Amino acid sequence: MITTDIQPTKQHYVVSVLLDISALALIYFVPALSHLLNIPLYLIEPMRLMLVLAMVHTNRNNAYLVALTLPVFSFLVSGHPVLLKMVLMSAELVLNVFVFYFLLNRTKHIFPSILLSIIISKMAYYGLKYLLILMGLLQMELVSTSLLIQAGTTLVFTAYVWKFFPSEPA
């Protein structure tokens, strides 16, 4: 049985801190690594990648912390994404965490919970982004990363969570 109300141990706190530091470092260095490797690393959704790792290897509270802070950190250190898009990205990632745990608590099935949480959060993100573009508050393309690539990363993240999410999470 999958439960989500287990008390974290000191080891879980250490893992959370290490993962959070790694997440911040990854987000900080993605632009430089992309340039150095000549590979657009943003295509692998590094923020969602770190969120998935936080959800699997730490606890719900830390996943919310990662969801809220990674876009803000990226904005503060690089000016990217722009302010409104940063707010959208934070909201999307927080919604991803909320929907995942909501569905998991209701269904006890990891695979559909993570898959639907990613899809629902992406739909909300694109819906709100579309409205902001229509209102003239954002001047950018609605979809900047191919939907095919996004489908691929969604399936990879879903498979990872399904395979490694603990039956008794921290």
- Which pTM does this prediction carry? 0.85
Select 10-164's CATH number: 2.60.120, 1.10.1660, 1.10.1760, 3.40.390: 1.10.1760
- How confident is the prediction along the chain (170 residues), in pLDDT tens digits per residue? 455 545 567 777 788 888 788 877 877 777 767 777 887 878 889 899 999 999 999 899 999 999 999 999 888 888 888 999 999 999 999 999 999 999 999 999 999 999 999 999 999 999 999 999 999 999 999 999 999 999 999 999 999 999 999 875 55
Is residue 53 exposed (0-12), middle (13-18) or buried (19+ Cβ within 10 Å)?
buried
3-state SS of 61-115?
A: HHHHHHHHHHHHHHHHHHCCCCHHHHHHHHHHHHHHHHHHHHHHHHHCCHHHHHH
